[in-house]
Structure 1
Amino acid sequence: MSSAAQRALDRLPAHKRELARLLTARAVGTAPDAAATPDGPVPRAGGGPVPATLTQARLWRYARSSDPAVGTGSHAIRLRGPLDAARLRDALTTVLRRHEALRTHLTERPDGSLMQVVAAEPELSLRELDLTGVVDQAAEVARQVTDSALTPLDLAAGQSSAFRLLRLADDHHVLVLAAHLAVFDGWSSGVFLADLAAAYRGVAATEQPTVQFPDFADWQHQWLLGPEGQREVAYWHKELAGLRPAEAASERFVRGHLPVGLDVQVTRPAFAASAAHGATPFMALLAALAVVLAHRTGNEDIVIGTPTAGRAAPGLETAIGQFTTVVPIRVDCSGGPSFAELLRRTRIAVARSLAHGSLPVDALFGAGGVPPYSVLFALHNYPSIPLDLPAIDVEQVPGPPARHLELYSPAPDATLACIGLVERDGRITGTAEFNRAMASPTDVRALMAGIEKVLYRAASLPSGAPVAL
């Protein structure tokens, strides 16, 4: 790159530099040759530093400009039984040693680019607190869990995780786990707990996972520069052509949370009717939400963003890292379709979008860009906590809601809500994270009530009748 081009890059705002570097490298022919980029991530030679992902770069910027704790994800589990604290400490260290993502720190180069550097040995951050003499233990546990979620994790210093072990009695503990969202997604939680249980039992695998998160980041960086990545960008630009970016709020982004749920007496018959048309519960809910948004906005061409695991490549299912991306799904609500017809359109749209779900959302809309959707929607089906410790009962401890808007959206101030639902035993519950500058709790409840109303009508209306609010 010429010195003039480098100076031009340096004059760009920090949030645009990395994407500009990608595009510049592509334009001047310094991108990797297609033959040199494997079809999927493979162990990198030498295990050295690799470029940070675009998601990592966005979280890094946001932490420095707005909220230092934006990257902290935290939850807690209650342990009842004869816990061996020293054994647990060793098991935690074993898991950190096993996963490069948990030994990663980010370093910023003079040109503003970010690199992931993996430490050779883990550094366990574990605070052991004795609460046996505390009168109101429940209040102190809640305070510790909340404090963990609000405490920044400094990736520049290699602090990707931090743990607290709260001792309430000899046979009663609470383990608080915090990890930086730049290296840890929802799927990673299950991998971490399963590995922790194996290490505690003394049966942990000695070999590392086949593919580590930095291997994936290195491959993704090359893939984005190569022809396959460019074809995906072109596909999405065509797929989303004609859509305007969502409007950002005029006020500063302020987060809100609201527990939400759907009446099982409504969802059960609606899901049964949807299954008869080859649609999953996720497709049924997405279709219903599209109808609600069409009614709310007066626009029949609806785009909804849905977070996906991003682990399609072999070997990634046992890795810890931040693989999540967001896939836009465009649903056509025009013409007053019946629910069966709307399900058909939604089923096609979901399949088409997920088939092109490898592109990072930041590469699609650009650093600091605004997507053409203001609502994010996900339906999870989480298993029970995969922490099988000998003679110990394990249960989840309620804590502060997750903060996903900055993780999932390059433009949180243009996002109305992120609705995350969980299906357990046929019941749909979850949390809506919303932007108080754009919506109130009443608005969020209206969205959920609208979904229920559409599903109720879909199951009760005559076949072929238009479905609407």
Structure 2
Amino acid sequence: MRQFPLEMHHMAPGRVVEWRLRSSAAEAADTGDPVGRKASFNQDKHFTVAEESRAADDPVASWVAVTFEVTGLLDEQALAQSLLSFVQRHEVLRCAFRRLAGEVACEPYDPAGLTLEPRQVGTFETSGLLREFLVERFKRSIDTLSWPLFIMGAVEREDSATVYLAFDHIVCDGMSMPIVAREVSTRYEALCRGEGVELPPAPSYLDFAEEQRRRYLSIDPSDERLGYWKAFMGQAGEFFPRFPLDLGVEEGQMYPIVNEASTLLDAAEAEVFEKTCLAADGKPFMGVLASVAVCLREAGGPGVYRGLMPVSERGRDTWAHSVGWFVNTLPIEFDASPGRDFAQVMASVRAGFSEMMSHLDVPFVRAWQLLAPEEFAARSWPYPVNFFSYIDMRKCPGAERHDEWRPTTHVWSARANGACSWFQRDRDGMHMNSIYVDTPAARRTMGDFQEALRLTVQEIARSGGFRRPIALTTPRRPLQTPLDVAAFARRG
């Protein structure tokens, strides 16, 4: 399972059917639970930005989506039942958000009052036309301020189908996507066999949000738990670590995005890379982060890496199978100065990561609100921010069936003012997906950076260390070649 732009997904053409979620309470103008629940810090900020953007006639939009494959002729009734059961199981998916007494309320609808309304969209004769339809469908249909907050559908063929679900970020995170694929696929297969299915417990994200607010809503800027953030901000007082390379952006401006993906290491190279990292007393994500730091430095960045890193708050058991936005974001800092070899930079990464993980307490949005209130009031991060994310998809729920289901994740944002990169490891290798501003400078900068990074991790896999200087001696690999996921499934 990997993440790449939807525009790169080469789905076989077919007939598209969608299911729209309906609620008897919503249609009766019932506000749901009269007591109501409160949104999490992440959700509150996300919803507030959407409100303010709409009021300023400057809408922002984003979505996260998952697709997966079904073998054989699709049983529409079984899939519809599986999708409905999935929504009923996860309370956050049944929620409508609204402003209530200054706070964002999260009102869950009764699962018994939910139904799915099928809609035959039409038949698409080519993969290109299908892809164009889905890209526009996701962009136009996902709205933070409108319920429901996701869409569900399938592309049907005589011998297979591609199921798709696209969500507003307010109800899920990237780690929710493997859960979606596993639950819907597992229940669908059981229904087709006429059997029941027992899924592991999935506590409500609303309970997580409630506990988070109870613990952190009352803290103030003097709270000692903010000490790690304050130390990171230092004398400069900057809450956000800057992306250190030139992207050609103007302060306060937002830009259309480039969304591209490439493979850094194939399966065999990724295995060797992992062994090299373990031999240096580190983990693969540390090796990738060390490589990123060195490439940024050699492109003109500082010797000390400073960036933001998202961390899952699911834990090992409690929330492992729950859908929601279980992400905290923390700063990390380590030494990658010239003259340090791979083992030395890895030791710095390990120490920086250990220090970061010992300060998980305060939610990112709450720290942002308390320590940078002027920037918190804005609708976006203030300038290009250094951001690194890594997920080993082989460890996700249902990974043992990924060869059959071929799940894929896709993210999109309407505009940006910087760059974000996500790295994924799956059975096919190590991959990178980047979203960044569409400026000439950013295209040059990110193109050179991505190629340098690919050469660096390959060199680590070959020789166990960095090569200096990193020379772009080979042509850049094409980034936008459509990926035939179904072909990958047939390959095995």
Q: Report whether the alignment pairs 1:231 with 2:219.
A: no
1:375 equivalent in structure 2: 386
Matches within 5 A, 1:397-436: 401-403=410-412, 412-413=416-417, 415=418, 417-425=419-427, 427-436=429-438
Cα distance in structure 2, aligned partners of 1:462 and 1:135: 49
Cα distance in structure 2, aligned partners of 1:285 and 1:206: 34
318, 323, 344: which one aligns with 2:321: 318
TM-align CA RMSD: 3.7
Q: CA deviation at 1:167?
A: 3.2
Matches within 5 A, 1:159-308: 159-169=148-158, 171-200=159-188, 201=190, 202-205=195-198, 209=202, 211-225=203-217, 230-242=223-235, 244=238, 245=240, 246=242, 249-250=250-251, 251-264=253-266, 270-308=273-311
1:82 equivalent in structure 2: 73
2:106 equivalent in structure 1: 116
The verdict on how the C-alpha distance between 1:63 and 1:87 changes in structure 2, with shifts beyond 3 A counting, is same
The verdict on how the C-alpha distance between 1:439 and 1:280 changes in structure 2, with shifts beyond 3 A counting, is farther
Q: CA deviation at 1:219?
A: 0.8
On the 8 A contact 1:405/1:433 being kept in 2, the answer is: no
Cα distance in structure 2, aligned partners of 1:393 and 1:426: 14
Cα distance in structure 1, aligned partners of 2:168 and 2:368: 24
Matches within 5 A, 1:42-81: 48-64=35-51, 65=53, 70-81=61-72
Cα distance in structure 1, aligned partners of 2:149 and 2:131: 22
On the 8 A contact 2:66/2:177 being kept in 1, the answer is: no
Cα distance in structure 1, aligned partners of 2:140 and 2:270: 39
On the 8 A contact 2:308/2:329 being kept in 1, the answer is: yes
Stretches of structure 2 lacking an aligned partner (at least 5 in a row):
1-32, 244-248, 370-375, 471-492
2:17 equivalent in structure 1: none
1:29 equivalent in structure 2: none
The verdict on how the C-alpha distance between 1:84 and 1:270 changes in structure 2, with shifts beyond 3 A counting, is closer
1:40 equivalent in structure 2: none
On the 8 A contact 1:75/1:177 being kept in 2, the answer is: yes
Cα distance in structure 2, aligned partners of 1:91 and 1:298: 49
On the 8 A contact 1:326/1:360 being kept in 2, the answer is: yes
In the alignment of these two chains, the number of paired residues is 407
Cα distance in structure 2, aligned partners of 1:404 and 1:282: 25
Q: CA deviation at 1:181?
A: 1.1
The verdict on how the C-alpha distance between 1:146 and 1:453 changes in structure 2, with shifts beyond 3 A counting, is closer
Determine which structure has the larger strand proportion and give its number. Answer: 2
Deviations 1:278-309 (A, max 9, x none): 11111111111112222334422221222222
Cα distance in structure 2, aligned partners of 1:190 and 1:285: 22
Q: CA deviation at 1:445?
A: 2.1
- Identity score, percent: 15
Cα distance in structure 1, aligned partners of 2:434 and 2:457: 19
2:13 equivalent in structure 1: none
Cα distance in structure 1, aligned partners of 2:110 and 2:333: 45
449, 456, 468: which one aligns with 1:447: 449
Cα distance in structure 1, aligned partners of 2:67 and 2:467: 46
Query: What is the TM-score of this pair, normalised by structure 2?
Result: 0.71
SS in 1 for 2:411: coil
Q: CA deviation at 1:343?
A: 1.0
Between 1:359-368 and 1:275-284, the stretch displaced more is 359-368
1:31 equivalent in structure 2: none
Stretches of structure 1 lacking an aligned partner (at least 5 in a row):
1-45, 407-411
Cα distance in structure 2, aligned partners of 1:448 and 1:388: 30
Cα distance in structure 1, aligned partners of 2:423 and 2:388: 8
The verdict on how the C-alpha distance between 1:198 and 1:238 changes in structure 2, with shifts beyond 3 A counting, is same
Query: What is the TM-score of this pair, normalised by structure 1?
Result: 0.74
Cα distance in structure 1, aligned partners of 2:187 and 2:458: 48
> Which residue identity lines up with residue 92 of structure 1 in the other structure?
L
SS in 2 for 1:418: strand
On the 8 A contact 1:106/1:117 being kept in 2, the answer is: yes
Cα distance in structure 2, aligned partners of 1:146 and 1:324: 26
Cα distance in structure 2, aligned partners of 1:382 and 1:172: 24
Q: CA deviation at 1:348?
A: 0.9
SS in 2 for 1:317: coil
Between 1:228-237 and 1:256-265, the stretch displaced more is 228-237
> Which residue identity lines up with residue 381 of structure 1 in the other structure?
D
1:158 equivalent in structure 2: 147
Q: CA deviation at 1:106?
A: 0.7
On the 8 A contact 2:47/2:145 being kept in 1, the answer is: no
The verdict on how the C-alpha distance between 1:139 and 1:213 changes in structure 2, with shifts beyond 3 A counting, is same
The verdict on how the C-alpha distance between 1:436 and 1:154 changes in structure 2, with shifts beyond 3 A counting, is closer
> Which residue identity lines up with residue 340 of structure 2 in the other structure?
P
SS in 2 for 1:365: helix
On the 8 A contact 1:96/1:124 being kept in 2, the answer is: no
